[in-house]
Amino acid sequence: MEGERLFRFPKPQWLNSANTRTAGVYLAGGLFSIALFILIDAASYSKSPLNGSNFHITFVDWIPAIFSALGMLVINSIDKTRLSGDGFSYSGDGVAWKARVVLFMGFAAMAGGLAGGVCVLVLKYIVAEASWPTAWMGVANVVTNGLVMLSSVILWVSQNMEDDYTYNLAL
């Protein structure tokens, strides 16, 4: 493993410990919760008497978050060992190919969710010239999708960390 290093700096040793992996998974769950509750905050703000404007959260505002969450579900439910199709024995070319297609669809859904969040912010709130406390409903959409993406990245990294860890154990 040492000989195959590509970068100048080695990976720090604490990245491979089991505690870091556990903390990463907890952190991902927390970030996903923050994302969901930012969106719920925007929706309940839209319904509350504080919202004096004509802007309201409709189903359109929820669509990007739904796509982001679906993408996260797809990405993180794929078995990572199926992805490296260079092997010969267990993962035949069919399985690796399918895994890559499904993974691509997951990433596309997530990126589409983020792009949709920005789209809703621009088209529904900025173009209609919403002032600040109203524009929060649009900003919350972008923040939600960004946090879902960040949570998914952390979950992915900590799952890959797990593979390295078990690999070291097996050697």
CB distance 154 to 24 below 8 Å: yes
Strands of the chain (E only): list them.
Answer: none
Pick 19 or 131: Cβ nearer another protein: 19
Decide if residue 133 touches another protein (CB under 8 A): no
Rounded to whole angstroms, the Cα distance separating 97 from 91 reads 10
CB of 137 to another protein, least distance (A): 12
Diameter of the chain by CA atoms? 64
CB of 41 to another protein, least distance (A): 4
Per-residue interface string for the shown chain with another protein, residues 25-64, x marking contact by CB under 8 A: xxxxxxxxxx--x--xx--xx-xxxx--------------
Residue of 64, 32, 41, 65 lying closest to 137 (CA atoms): 41
Q: Which stretch binds another protein (CB under 8 A): 22-30, 89-97, 99-107, 116-124?
A: 22-30
Q: Which stretch binds another protein (CB under 8 A): 4-12, 15-23, 59-67, 115-123?
A: 15-23
Dihedral angle of Cα 78, 79, 85, 88, to the nearest 10 degrees: -150
CB distance 28 to 151 below 8 Å: yes
Pick 61 or 162: Cβ nearer another protein: 162
Where along the sequence are the contacts to another protein (CB under 8 A)? 18, 21-22, 25-34, 37, 40-41, 44-45, 47-50, 155, 159, 162, 165-166, 169-170
